[in-house]
């Protein structure tokens, strides 16, 4: 039982009962690790690692830790998995992480592999087309429904990993140096490590001193069209560029098509939650655009349409807060929200999760070599150099694509777009990492 003895729960102020104990074999090693959840007085939980948020980043981080033999508790404010939303597109870096977590082959059969990309003007002219594997033979591009991704993650986690109806209302430090999370139901969770995966408006990030994300001047409407008898689209992602407006669509499966509209706006504006209004607004925005995008919107169920302002946060060296503060760390959108212009938001969250899990597992299994806080700092150093330039690049690409001046747009579409090399545009999808294997 030498695996995590230095990370076991101890030094109680009063005796508390052990609610459950589980033994499991890790990998191919003949070594057993004891995982404990201890409940004190029914309203105070003592945990080693707590993940705040059961979104993509949170469940991926918990699953990566689980693959390394390290238990975590995931706190989710909703009463079930938040499976709303539409679809996200993952490139090869995202799929490599999913494969390492052991879920890639569960997901692939359900989703189309995208072969290429086509760019059109708002009058229907083809401006440029690419085939992904012509530029990068190792590339893999597939959209994934957010609902299916979250449900797949959850199905691979041990029972009782996710605690629902657990809204975070406060954070404080205890006298013994642990972090205490106060929940809306009165429960307190005392943790040695807190991992904030609670999204773009993260309370954990705010507690750590991060400012609110910046609105970049664009809003997006997204939806998921459904064709019960099958859609006619080729397995390509198609972009339509206008003036201060752009759209895109990509087949997700044989019956579903993801689409988006992105338009300039001086402010995030009032939040519109009525999907019927959003659907009608979308149709009015592109009333004179090619019929294929209009048909896709027509086939979209109201309950799949959402509108969001696009946000990001630039992590300036020496100016931005650290990704970790003592034993608290942030992951994914909680740390580095980025615009979707490179298709890397979810991919980077997946990368974060596997890197952080490896750092923490190393510290758990070999505390003499690295402390837990040093593991969090190591995670930040490794990830910052990748995240910072990608966030800026995504922002700049969006700014160019949302240009409004007709002359500048003509130069963009007829000159700059012809000079783009897809191979260089895809270099950011090259991500190397150590395999998930227990090092204890």
CA nearest neighbour of 81 among 107, 98, 111, 56: 56
Q: How far apart are CA 99 and CA 115, in angstroms?
A: 20
The per-residue pLDDT for 27 is 35
Q: How far apart are CA 259 and CA 422, in angstroms?
A: 22
Q: How far apart are CA 35 and CA 78, in angstroms?
A: 25
Q: How far apart are CA 119 and CA 142, in angstroms?
A: 18
pLDDT in tens, 96-132: 999 999 999 999 999 999 999 999 999 999 999 999 9
The per-residue pLDDT for 181 is 97
| Number of helical H runs and strand E runs in the chain | 13, 19
Q: How far apart are CA 8 and CA 6, in angstroms?
A: 6
Q: How far apart are CA 143 and CA 237, in angstroms?
A: 10
Q: How far apart are CA 412 and CA 244, in angstroms?
A: 12
Where the chain has pLDDT below 70, the residues are 1-42, 438-440
Contacts 24+ apart (CB under 8 A), 132-135: 132/422, 132/426, 135/421, 135/422, 135/423, 135/426
Bridge-based pairing state of the strands 328-330 and 324-325: antiparallel
Ramachandran sector of residue 35 (left: φ over 0; alpha: ψ -120 to 50; beta: rest): beta
> DSSP secondary-structure letter at 158?
P
Q: How far apart are CA 347 and CA 426, in angstroms?
A: 13
What are the residue boundaries of the structural domains of the chain, listed by start?
5-82+157-212+315-394, 87-148+215-313
The per-residue pLDDT for 14 is 27
Judge contact between 224 and 257, C-beta under 8 A. Answer: yes
Q: How far apart are CA 313 and CA 254, in angstroms?
A: 36
Judge contact between 218 and 263, C-beta under 8 A. Answer: yes
Backbone angles phi, psi at 125, to 5 degrees: -75, 140
Judge contact between 45 and 189, C-beta under 8 A. Answer: yes
Tokens of 91: 């490139």
Judge contact between 107 and 144, C-beta under 8 A. Answer: yes
pLDDT in tens, 368-397: 889 999 999 999 999 999 999 999 999 999
Judge contact between 380 and 322, C-beta under 8 A. Answer: yes
- Has domain 87-148+215-313 been given CATH number 3.40.50.300? no
Q: How far apart are CA 163 and CA 419, in angstroms?
A: 51
SS3 at position 276: helix
Judge contact between 349 and 56, C-beta under 8 A. Answer: yes
What is the CATH architecture of 5-82+157-212+315-394? Answer: 3-Layer(bba) Sandwich (3.50)
- How wide is the angle at C-alpha 290 spanned by C-alphas 306 and 406, nearest 5°? 90
| Residue carrying the six token digits 């597109």 | 89
Judge contact between 50 and 27, C-beta under 8 A. Answer: no
Judge contact between 25 and 45, C-beta under 8 A. Answer: no
How many CB atoms lie under 10 A from the CB of residue 281?
16
For residue 23, the cross-strand partners are 34
Bridge-based pairing state of the strands 87-90 and 142-145: antiparallel
Sign of the CA dihedral running 63, 69, 72, 78: positive
Q: How far apart are CA 178 and CA 291, in angstroms?
A: 58
Q: How far apart are CA 115 and CA 237, in angstroms?
A: 8
Tokens of 439: 């090092």
Q: How far apart are CA 262 and CA 269, in angstroms?
A: 14
């Amino acid at each position: 039982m030498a695996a995590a003895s230095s990370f076991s729960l101890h030094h109680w102020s009063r005796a508390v009962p052990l609610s459950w104990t589980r033994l499991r074999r890790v990998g191919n090693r003949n070594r057993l690790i004891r995982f404990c959840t201890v409940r004190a007085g029914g309203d105070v939980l003592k945990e080693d690692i707590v993940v705040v948020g059961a979104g993509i980043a949170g469940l991926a981080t918990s699953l990566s830790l689980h693959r390394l033999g390290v238990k975590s508790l995931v706190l989710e404010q909703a009463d079930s998995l938040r499976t709303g939303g539409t679809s996200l597109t993952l490139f090869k870096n995202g799929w490599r992480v999913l494969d390492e977590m052991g879920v890639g082959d569960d997901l692939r059969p359900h989703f189309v592999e995208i072969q290429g990309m086509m760019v059109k003007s708002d009058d229907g002219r083809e401006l440029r087309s690419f085939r992904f594997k012509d530029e990068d033979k190792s590339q893999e591009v597939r959209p994934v429904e957010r609902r299916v991704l979250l449900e797949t993650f959850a199905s691979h986690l041990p029972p009782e990993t996710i605690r629902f109806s657990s809204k975070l209302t406060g954070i404080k430090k205890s006298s013994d140096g642990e972090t205490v999370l106060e929940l809306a139901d009165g429960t307190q969770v005392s943790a040695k490590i807190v991992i904030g995966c609670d999204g773009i408006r993260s309370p954990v990030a705010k507690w750590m001193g991060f400012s609110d994300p910046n609105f970049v001047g664009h809003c997006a409407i997204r939806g998921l069209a459904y064709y019960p008898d099958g859609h006619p689209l080729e397995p390509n992602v198609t972009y339509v560029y206008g003036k201060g407006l752009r759209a895109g669509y990509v087949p997700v499966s044989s019956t579903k098509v993801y689409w988006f509209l992105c338009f300039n706006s001086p402010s995030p504006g009032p939040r519109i939650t009525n999907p019927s209004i959003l659907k009608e607004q979308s149709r009015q925005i592109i009333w004179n655009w090619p019929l294929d995008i209009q048909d896709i919107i027509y086939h979209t169920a109201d309950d799949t349409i959402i509108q969001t302002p696009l946000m990001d946060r630039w992590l300036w060296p020496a100016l931005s807060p650290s990704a970790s503060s003592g034993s608290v760390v942030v992951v994914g959108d909680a740390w580095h929200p980025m615009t979707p212009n490179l298709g890397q938001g979810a991919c980077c969250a997946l990368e974060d999760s596997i890197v952080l899990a490896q750092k923490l597992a190393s510290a758990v299994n070999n505390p003499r070599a690295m402390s837990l806080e040093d593991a969090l700092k190591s995670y930040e150093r490794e990830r910052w150099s990748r995240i910072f330039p990608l966030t800026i690049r995504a922002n700049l690409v969006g700014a160019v694509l949302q240009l409004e001046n007709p002359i500048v747009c003509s130069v963009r579409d007829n000159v700059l777009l012809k000079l783009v090399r897809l191979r260089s545009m895809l270099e950011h999808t090259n991500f190397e990492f150590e395999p998930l294997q227990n090092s204890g």
